[in-house]
Amino acid sequence: MIVNKNINRGIKNLSFIHTKHIRMVHHRVTIIGSGPAAHTAAIYLARAEIKPTLYEGMFANGIAAGGQLTTTTEIENFPGFPEGLTGSELMERMKQQSERFGTEIITETVAKVDTSVRPFKLWTEFNEDAEPHTTDALILATGASARRMDLLGEDKYWQQGISACAVCDGAVPIFRNKPLAVIGGGDSACEEACFLTKYGSKVYMLVRKDHLRASTIMQRRAEKNEKIEILYNTEAREAKGDGKFLGALRLFNNKTNQESDLPVNGLFYAIGHTPATSILAGQVDLHENGYVKTVPGSTITSVPGVFAAGDVQDSRYRQAVTSAGSGCMAALDAEKFLSEQE
Ligand code: FAD
Ligand code: NDP
């Protein structure tokens, strides 16, 4: 392989280096991700005339391009939309805004990165065995994804009654006018339980503690909904059914130590998320819980030139607007880094 590294370093924007045998793609700033963090970073960089390249993924981590908001219904807390709008619509608007200012969007999932030397290298699932794409700066905005429980019987009834996305699956006929359950006590659990009352005859929230973790407004909504019953100190032990579809859950009350069966035809997990950092292991420092470590108050990671924004580095706030805010910070941090290099 013949690559002139000096030429490579001097390349600005998207460039193609032709040598005798290879064709390399070099970007000035690469963004991995497609949620509010990625698109906000792209908008800022594109408006600063640093034409960024954004790899939006192709069902990366099982989530469509656009990220977690594509799995939900109404967004009522993103400023600027007093009437609310759907998560998918919000993300489509962000994508259009990125493109309007010249972001190059590539619908591929990044499979591997190498941040050991600059320019950084990255491979997508389509070019994993080929020459890597290179980039002077990298913004990680890969977000997070829903957790599963490994419940006894989960594999048998997965997508046959068990789901991790009420918005995606709640409307299917097997759940209509049937008792349903949601596991979790956070905002997602409350939101999903409320959403499922449109379809189910009753929705049980199974909460392992004696209180909810959700924000006050979401708690109130769930508590006020007559079709929702919250079962505290309750853990699911087993998913049972007729071999084809889910029909009941074996429950354990961790206060009374008693077990019981709860007839339900649907079970929805809302037990939190895992940061999408599998491609980053050994490349940037991660916290014990897998989230990317950043210098507090910035998006700077352990590797100069690599920045992290959104849920992938935020185990605390995890909101669309905070992700967008940190996407803006990543763009400004990357812009400063590039100007210092040049
Ligand atoms: P994400 O939205 O997680 O998107 C990252 C995306 O990047 C991935 O989904 C994937 O498509 C892509 N990607 C990942 N890895 C790769 C890769 N290797 N290569 C290429 N692409 C990749 N927040 C609110 O403020 N208001 C709400 O009402 C609200 N409702 C919610 C409802 C639900 C059901 C959930 C789950 C979350 C909700 N949130 C809400 C939280 C909000 O969705 C997140 O905080 C926000 O989407 C995080 O944005 P992000 O940019 O960090 O990444
Ligand atoms: P959270 O991490 O906030 O909550 C997870 C919930 O699941 C907790 O109640 C937790 O219990 C429970 N849990 C975790 N593991 C298990 C398990 N193995 N068995 C049983 N229960 C379990 O995640 P969310 O997805 O609810 O929220 C993520 C972020 O997205 C938050 O920042 C939230 O504010 C935001 N969001 C905002 C919305 C809005 O503003 N409208 C809507 C949805 C999400 P425990 O408390 O005991 O740990």
User: pLDDT by residue (tens digit) across 73-86?
Assistant: 788 899 999 999 99
What residues act catalytically?
A: 165, 168-169
**Is pLDDT at 89 greater than 80 in this prediction?**
yes
Is the domain of 106 the same as that of 173?
no
Task: Provide the domain limits for residue 109.
Answer: 2-145+273-341
Q: Is there a single domain that holds both residue 10 and residue 126?
A: yes
User: Are 236 and 90 contained in the same domain?
Assistant: no
195 lies in the same domain as 211: yes
Domain boundary among 221, 253, 269: 269
Q: What is the pLDDT of residue 78?
A: 94
Q: What is the pTM of this model?
A: 0.81
pLDDT at 145: 85
> What pLDDT is recorded for position 127?
74
CA of 120 to the centre of ligand 2 (A): 35
pLDDT digit string, tens, across residues 169-222: 888 899 999 999 999 999 999 999 999 999 999 999 999 999 999 999 999 999
User: Do residues 9 and 141 both lie within one domain?
Assistant: yes
- Tens of pLDDT along 288-307? 989 999 999 999 999 999 99
- Ligand nearest the Cα atom of residue 188: 2
Residues 25 and 117 occupy one common structural domain: yes
Ligand 1 pocket member 193 (CB < 6 A): no
CB atoms within 10 A of CB 317: 11
Indicate if 195 and 178 belong to the same structural domain: yes
Listed range (37-46, 119-128, 257-266, 289-298) with the worst mean pLDDT: 119-128
pLDDT tens track for 257-287: 999 999 999 999 999 889 999 999 999 999 9
Of 223, 246, 269, which marks where a domain is finished? 269
Average pLDDT over residues 148-174: 90
Q: Which residues of 60-70 are buried (b: 16+ CB within 10 A; e: fewer)?
A: bbebbbbbbbb
For the cut 60, the answer to whether the pLDDT of residue 161 exceeds it is yes
Check whether residue 210 and residue 296 sit in a common domain: no
Model confidence at 67, in pLDDT bands (50, 70, 90)? very high
Give all strands (DSSP E) within the chain, no chain letters: 15-18, 23-32, 53-55, 74-75, 85-86, 104-106, 110-114, 120-124, 133-140, 144-146, 162-163, 179-183, 202-206, 228-231, 234-241, 246-253, 258-263, 266-269, 273-275, 306-308
pLDDT at position 14: 37
Question: If you measure from the C-alpha of residue 171 to the centroid of ligand 2, how many angstroms do you get, rounded to a whole number?
Answer: 22
- Which ligand has the minimum distance to the alpha carbon of residue 208? 2
203 & 281 share domain: no
Q: Supply the pLDDT for residue 73.
A: 77
Res. 53: pLDDT tops 80? yes
- Residue that terminates a domain, selected from 269, 285, 314: 269
Residue 18: which pLDDT band, with cuts at 50, 70 and 90?
very low
Contact 35 CB / ligand 1 (< 6 Å): yes
Residue of 271, 272, 276, 270 whose CA lies nearest to 313: 276
- How many structural domains are present in the chain? 2
**How many A from CA of 97 to the centre of ligand 2?**
30
Is residue 165 over pLDDT 90?
A: no
Same domain assignment for residues 242 and 156 = yes
Nearest atom in ligand 2 to the alpha carbon of residue 209 is 47
Q: What is the pLDDT of residue 125?
A: 87
Is residue 124 a contact partner of residue 108, using CB atoms and an 8 Å limit? yes
**Pocket-forming residues, ligand 2, beta carbon under 6 Å:** 77, 149, 183-189, 191, 208-209, 213, 218, 270-273, 317-319
Atom 46 (ligand 2) nearest CA? 213
Mean confidence (pLDDT) of the chain: 91
253 and 125 co-located in one domain: no
Q: What CATH number corresponds to the domain at position 52?
A: 3.50.50.60
How far apart (Å, rounded) are the C-alpha atoms in residues 40 and 54?
11
Chain CA centroid to CA 146, Å = 8
pLDDT of residue 58: 94
Ligand 1 centroid–CA 55 distance in Å is: 14
Note the pLDDT of residue 9: 32
82 and 10, same domain (yes or no): yes
Q: Which ligand is nearest to the CA of 37?
A: 1
| pLDDT tens figures, 208-251 | 999 999 999 999 999 999 999 999 999 999 999 999 999 999 99
**In the structure encoding, which two tokens stand for residue 277, read together?**
């950092």
At residue 273, the pLDDT reads 84
